[in-house]
Amino acid sequence: MTIAELKARLVELNEVGKAIQAKADAEKRELNADEQKEVDAIFAEFEQVEADISRRERLAAQETRLSAPAPRQVPPSQPQNAAPVSGIQNVEPAGLRNSRLTTIEERARWGFRDFGEFCSSVRQAANNPSNPDARLIQNALSTYGSEGVGADGGFAVPPEWRSTIMQAVQGEEALMSRTDIQTVSGNSITFPSDESTAWQTAGGVLAYWDAEASTMTQSKPALKEVTVKLHRVTALVPVTDELLEDTAALGSYVSRKAGEKIAYKVNDAIISGTGAGQPLGILNAPGTVSVAKETVPAQTAATFFGVNAAKMMARMPASSFGRSVWLVNQDVIPFILQLSFVGKLADSTVAGAGALYLPPNGMANSTPYGSLFGRPIVVTEACKTIGTVGDVILADLTQYLSVVKSGGVRSDTSIHLWFDQNTTAFRFVLRMNGQPWMSSSITRASGSNALSHFVTLATR
């Protein structure tokens, strides 16, 4: 290998190591045994390649001193299949390098160092269809136009970057990962649903006390069909050809921004979606219940007290509370940090008052924003501002159905949308839909207040 190839290998090793660490960071965990082993192997190979480069550079320096004139160097623009020059080895063709990829990360990237290099290759192949990068040809989409020449569409984004985009949607701060996720290969899915409760006395499967030898009372299931059709959320990212040449900037810009936008759109729809062309959100679902503000004494505007949280907890089914989370707007945090029971309204903290909020790492609490009544707090901009319905939501998100198209986020690239403006378009599409499983609130066996898996607080 040449010194240039060895230096390129150092860049590849560094990128692989960063990708492994980034994946663990995104999942908020330490490296597992296999990942640590691979990182150690990267470190070892990195040192070996560095030593090889140092040795070759010293040999080259000796040859320079001994030779007159110095050997001619191959210019950077020399084609890869050009005849070898004395003392210089040919660079191995890209397709051959790709066929000899050994690590999982190399195969996942199809031989590209990073997302930017891939995007740059797409642009060059589209501008010069007679000589596309071999790595794009052998991995092109099989059902998308005439991808061999790039004239009618784009090339498949390598799995590593497609996974990176999806990770942003499924990350810890995303709400969809907490819901009941179902994947489909078609455009819709139909489920049978049973909304009867264990204490119902009519409708659905029932149980009775019977006397010995008496005829048992019959009952039958009461099922309904739930059909969910997919909608789509998209991100269209135009990038100038000048920016494409800066591979590092492009790689971070496209993946990060598209992921952030899709993640927020999904979060916002799960909470506030209208159900028309988008998921049905918690706030608009007929089964969501609302707790009134305090009236004696009157609760001031734009506040949140411990008694509010306690009454919200009382409106959630007992079986769901252990799975629930508090979804809150960041404006609510100052109130949560001071919550305690003092008289009727918990509007101040006094000696001996019982604390309701536990900070992160306090009493073995490992949730990033702490907990309220023992349940994790999730801060999201999708919640409404303090004092309005939706600023605080107690939710059992396992009772929210999310239907996602198999394959997750689809990624496409095209230079033709804004060809006259020297701009390439990167398109990201996620097809999904969602709604609460229950279509109405739950009538209790004893008590007048209806229950729900989703509880809000009325306007204050």
Start-to-end C-alpha separation, the chain: 71
- 287: nearest Cα among 395, 202, 387, 376: 395
- 45: nearest Cα among 12, 90, 86, 3: 12
**Is 190 contained in some domain?**
yes
| 317 and 382 belong to one structural domain | yes
Cβ neighbours for 415, distance < 8 A, ≥ 6 positions apart: 122, 123, 126, 127, 150, 423, 424, 425
| 342 and 394 belong to one structural domain | yes
Token pair, residue 251, equals 């790689």
**Is 386 contained in some domain?**
yes
**Is 112 contained in some domain?**
yes
**297: preceding bond cis by omega (within 30 degrees):** yes
**Is 216 contained in some domain?**
no
pLDDT at 448: 84
The CATH code of the domain that includes 407 is 3.30.2400.10
**Is 118 contained in some domain?**
yes
pLDDT at 97: 45
Chain position carrying tokens 């505007």: 301
- Interatomic CA distance for residues 91 and 185, integer angstroms: 43
| 132 and 264 belong to one structural domain | no
Give the domain extent around 365: 285-400+447-457
| 340 and 452 belong to one structural domain | yes
Specify the pairing of strand 423-436 against strand 400-405.
antiparallel
Q: How many CB atoms lie within 10 A of CB 313?
A: 19
| 299 and 390 belong to one structural domain | yes
| 336 and 375 belong to one structural domain | yes
| 348 and 420 belong to one structural domain | no
pLDDT, average across residues 349-359: 54
Q: Tell me 451's DSSP state.
A: B
pLDDT at 111: 73
Return left, alpha or beta for 440; rule: phi > 0 is left, psi -120 to 50 is alpha, else beta.
Answer: beta
pLDDT at 153: 39
pLDDT, average across residues 240-256: 69
Cβ neighbours for 163, distance < 8 A, ≥ 6 positions apart: 108
**Is 348 contained in some domain?**
yes
- At 284-320, the pLDDT tens digits run 999 999 999 998 888 999 999 989 999 999 999 999 9
pLDDT of residue 355 exceeding 70: no
Q: 188 or 69, which is more confident?
A: 188
- 153: nearest Cα among 414, 411, 409, 410: 414
- At 371-382, the pLDDT tens digits run 888 899 999 999
| 312 and 373 belong to one structural domain | yes
pLDDT at 152: 39
pLDDT, average across residues 96-117: 62
| 109 and 127 belong to one structural domain | yes
pLDDT at 259: 79
- Interatomic CA distance for residues 381 and 391, integer angstroms: 10
Token pair, residue 314, equals 């009382």
pLDDT, average across residues 199-212: 78
**Is 233 contained in some domain?**
yes
**Is 149 contained in some domain?**
yes
- Interatomic CA distance for residues 433 and 405, integer angstroms: 9
Q: 322 or 409, which is more confident?
A: 322
| 358 and 385 belong to one structural domain | yes
- Write down the pTM of the prediction: 0.61
Mean pLDDT, all residues of the chain: 77
Least confident interval from 218-227, 317-326, 421-430: 218-227
Structurally, how many domains does the chain consist of?
3
Residue 251 binned pLDDT confidence (cut-offs 50, 70, 90): low
| 249 and 182 belong to one structural domain | yes
pLDDT at 1: 72
pLDDT at 361: 61
- At 31-70, the pLDDT tens digits run 888 888 888 888 988 898 899 888 888 888 887 777 655 4
- Interatomic CA distance for residues 135 and 126, integer angstroms: 14
pLDDT at 159: 54
Chain position carrying tokens 């045994």: 33
Least confident interval from 126-140, 156-170, 420-434: 156-170
